[in-house]
Structure 1
Amino acid sequence: MTDSVEIGTPTDTKEVTANPVLTRVLNEPATHFRSEGDVNTTQARQAWNESLNHQTTQALLRRDSEVFLHQAMSTPCLDSLEAADGIYLQDSSGKKYMDFHGNNVHQLGYGHPHVIKKITEQMASLPFSPRRFTNETAVQCAEKLTQICGGELNRVLFAPGGTSVIGMALKLARHVTNNFKVVSLWDSFHGASLDAISVGGEACFREGMGPLMAGVERIPPAVSYRGAFPNPNASNNDNNQASDVHYADYLEYVIEKEGGIGAFIAEAVRNTDVQVPSKAYWKRIREICDKHNVLLIIDDIPNGMGRSGEWFTHQAFDIEPDILCIGKGLGGGLIPIAAMITKDKFNTATQVSLGHYTHEKSPLGCAAALATIEVIEQEKLLDKTQSDSKFMREQLLRMKEKYPVIGDVRGIGLLWGVELVTDKTAKTRAFDEAEATLYQCLNNGLSFKVSQGNVIQLSPPLIISRADLQAALNIFENAIQQVCIDFNYI
């Protein structure tokens, strides 16, 4: 996609010679919700913002703070951007970051020429399609999605974003089963609207919101490293192990005790802090849902379109959901579009408006989605992702053996979580160390997300070259090594 470039050097800022955060984060109390994203109101974030010695950047950050409604995790902002291309973000000072977060829209990186070409062609012919009309691009896109889904997933509805398709899936499940109750997982994220946070498991989104959607039961997720029901024989990072099936059995217990359950909703692999259940877990979940006539809704909004090395993450576990929700990367990092895909036997809601969105059959969104699928096919990105996955596994597991601050490594495809702990036996979360790692990597041109306060999430674009992937891992390892020194681990 793009040539390798020198990263981490601002064009008109003072050179950063050391991480300015390390002296500010030691022993800082963890007083904020940390489940979704790195905390942006700590002293570490303040120190980072103060280190952005660039007049245009500081002015834009002030204007942003003055005009946008403040909310957790997006105020104050991390930096200001002026460009994005391939795997890189470029800030207002000219500094480039390799983007290993991308809000999960960046499977193809940024500005892929094929996606831009197809969107531009669509804009010139049919830029918008009002409801009650169809168009060739939307039909082709729906047909192509059913093709790559395979199996019985052959009915599609589009929407402008992932949260919207979660709402449609919940409505369809109620319509099909005549049961309004839903089981979801603690620590899950399915969107920020009231219905989505009702079935989500992260407290930071429900804080102060009052009564939410009734009938939601939450159960513990299958967690290999730390969890509600730990198994001493658990083997991390092996999808063929069955050491987490007891988490699935608890779903059946809740279904039988509660009654009236219409759906179970979950990500096949939790994106935020990268929890990878076993194949045995998911096969047991599928059996339980079939036995009790509960619809299985898989939220693959952040991980779909190849991040797992399969088109959709559930395919890595050899199961098929009743309803699949996708989005984010579907639009190629250019156009917001999402889709709910289900089975023909559930095509029974003719008299119900499940979605009815203004951009329901967006020609531009569908052109972007079709182009994204074409790029993944033409550039053989699924095979590449599986190869890159093996490389990342080897590199990160090597680091785990070398650096005492790394307690666990887990992942699939190009989605990896590195959990930092202060003590490997107690598994105490290393909040300060994770923040120090983040800001040191940012100083050196690598951007990623921190989840649960101590899990480094690494999700590079699928188009990344092996050389750039190695360069990014070198930046990460250097930061981990420095943190181990500064926090007296070695």
Structure 2
Amino acid sequence: MAETHNRTEGDINLSSARADWYALIKDPETISWLNEDETHFLHQSLSTPCLDVLASCDGIYLTDIQGKRYMDFHGNNVHQLGYRNPYIVEKVKAQLDILPFSPRRYTNVPAIELAKKLGDLMPGDLKRVLFAPGGTSAISMALKLARIVTGKHKVISLWDSFHGASLDAISAGGELDFRKDMGPMLPGVERIPPPMTYRGPFAASGSGDLAYADYLEYVIEKEGDIGAFLIETIRNTDVQIPSQAYWQRVREICTKHEVLLILDEIPIAFGRTGKMFAFEHYGIQPDIVCLGKGLGGGIMPMAAIVARDSYNVAQGVSLGHFTHEKSPLGSVAALAMLEYIEQNQILEKVREDEQFVSAALQNLQDRYPLIGDVRGIGLLWGIELVTDRETKEKAVKQAELVMYECLKNGLSFKVSQGNVLQLSPPLIITSKQLTESLQILENALITASGIV
């Protein structure tokens, strides 16, 4: 019996389209290295077998061992300021000569400065910080802290959400690809639908996304003993943008029922949406914020949680206690990243780019019936492809074709939910590069529009 593959989190690396992609690779050296990779690494969904063999990176580009360049509109969301950003690289190089590692029993100045900086950037009493080597670990620390603060272990999250790949993170997440065949998950997790108005269980209700917020309260009241609501402020997959009313209602519900609001901003913080943090668009204050990916400046693995000052109540528990917890290198990279954003007015640039991209993608939607919906904010965009705008049937085959056509012509991005082209370019991208990338995309849409 053939194994079925879930498409919600990304493209399928074992599809026939991927096989066709490999057939285009004629270089013996590339083929040899890809075979070596398959031989030595454990295979897993969304990864091995890999697309290509990289040799270098710079700015918005990845370059393979044969010199082909890809504009990277995926980047695992670590590339807000581009690859090999000179400002960040120099800061990290200098730290290598001073203190590259700090044992857990000691602190260091860069780590303290970063903790203070993150607290200064947050509203209200979000002042207490803890670092981790990756976003998955940040989620784990947030869930532990929530149990201690509330005395309750139950969590609500969203279907199809992704919060990391460890057992506790996949238990709290809603993404099938990471949970299947794993057996029993951590108990006490309830899932609700994400606030989607284009499709979804309440899409036809006529109430926008408020019905999804009301359902959150319904589950809290029915289930009881809920300690936390874990949610991405803005989804980084199919990129449905919640309304102001939705987030105001969610904050009210969590406050009313004494449920901690834990925001996962690991993929989208630090300017991606045109604000330093996505929740700033909604005027709300979360109880715990999880950060990562871009925090390390595209160089170092670095993550963090920022919690209310009053939550400093876990002195007798090791919430994290990771070997590289207070990494001087990671802290220096993060500080340099934040300095670069502020010194180069990156947030303002992203808001200007949003207007350009919005108009360009709307123009494409007007001309190509294959595009069912366009939604986005800042430099985070989703293009949903459908075979019919009335039925909204997902154009899975066409989306995969568009992705590989773009790859052939030097544009790399991720496909989510099987039919959503997810575009997340580096925030340093120029207007010329944006125009070039959108032309590559349009050419691919023309090709895919002829597919039945």
Normalising by structure 1, we get a TM-score of 0.91
Which of 85, 110, 120 is matched with 2:58 structurally? 85
Q: Quote the offset at 1:151 in angstroms.
A: 2.2
Q: Could you list the structure 1 runs, at least 4 aligned residues long, displaced by more than 4 angstroms after superposition.
A: none
Which of 123, 138, 143 is matched with 1:165 structurally? 138
Which of 197, 217, 220 is matched with 2:170 structurally? 197
Query: Residue 128 of structure 1 aligns with which residue?
Result: 101
Q: Quote the offset at 1:233 in angstroms.
A: 4.4
Query: Residue 366 of structure 1 aligns with which residue?
Result: 331
Which of 347, 354, 360 is matched with 1:395 structurally? 360
Query: Residue 114 of structure 1 aligns with which residue?
Result: 87
Query: Is the 8 Å Cα contact of residues 74 and 412 (structure 2) preserved in structure 1?
Result: yes
Distance (whole Å) between structure 2 residues aligned to residue 36 and residue 84 of structure 1? 25
Q: Quote the offset at 1:153 in angstroms.
A: 1.1
User: Which aligned pairs between 1:90-489 and structure 2 lie closer than 5 A?
Assistant: 90-231=63-204, 233=206, 243-484=208-449, 486-487=450-451
Q: Which residue identity lines up with residue 262 of structure 1 in the other structure?
A: G
Q: Quote the offset at 1:232 in angstroms.
A: 6.0
Distance (whole Å) between structure 1 residues aligned to residue 25 and residue 122 of structure 2? 45
Query: Residue 11 of structure 2 aligns with which residue?
Result: 38
Query: Residue 59 of structure 1 aligns with which residue?
Result: 32
Distance (whole Å) between structure 2 residues aligned to residue 391 and residue 213 of structure 1? 44
Query: Is the 8 Å Cα contact of residues 308 and 414 (structure 1) preserved in structure 2?
Result: yes
Query: Is the 8 Å Cα contact of residues 30 and 431 (structure 1) preserved in structure 2?
Result: no
Q: Quote the offset at 1:397 in angstroms.
A: 1.1
Q: Which residue identity lines up with residue 37 of structure 1 in the other structure?
A: G
Q: Which residue identity lines up with residue 199 of structure 1 in the other structure?
A: A
Q: Which runs of 5+ in 2 are unaligned?
A: none
Percent sequence identity over matched residues? 59
List per-residue Cα deviations over 1:344-400 (Å, max 9, x = no partner): 011111111110111111000000000000111111111111111111111111111
Q: Which residue identity lines up with residue 74 of structure 1 in the other structure?
A: S
What secondary structure, in the 3-state scheme, does the structure 2 residue paired with 1:428 have? coil
Query: Is the 8 Å Cα contact of residues 101 and 448 (structure 1) preserved in structure 2?
Result: yes
Q: Which residue identity lines up with residue 190 of structure 1 in the other structure?
A: H
Distance (whole Å) between structure 1 residues aligned to residue 175 and residue 185 of structure 2? 13
How many equivalent pairs are there?
451
Superposed CA RMSD in Å reads 1.2
User: Which aligned pairs between 1:9-24 and structure 2 lie closer than 5 A?
Assistant: none
Q: Which residue identity lines up with residue 293 of structure 2 in the other structure?
A: K
List per-residue Cα deviations over 1:45-93 (Å, max 9, x = no partner): 0010110111111010000000000011101101110010000000111
Q: Which residue identity lines up with residue 256 of structure 2 in the other structure?
A: K
List per-residue Cα deviations over 1:94-151 (Å, max 9, x = no partner): 1000000000000011000110111011111111110121111101011111111232
Q: Which residue identity lines up with residue 155 of structure 1 in the other structure?
A: R
Q: Which residue identity lines up with residue 190 of structure 2 in the other structure?
A: E
List per-residue Cα deviations over 1:268-315 (Å, max 9, x = no partner): 001011121111101100000000000000000000111011111111
What secondary structure, in the 3-state scheme, does the structure 2 residue paired with 1:429 have? coil
Query: Residue 9 of structure 1 aligns with which residue?
Result: none
Normalising by structure 2, we get a TM-score of 0.98
Q: Quote the offset at 1:487 in angstroms.
A: 1.3
Query: Is the 8 Å Cα contact of residues 149 and 311 (structure 1) preserved in structure 2?
Result: no
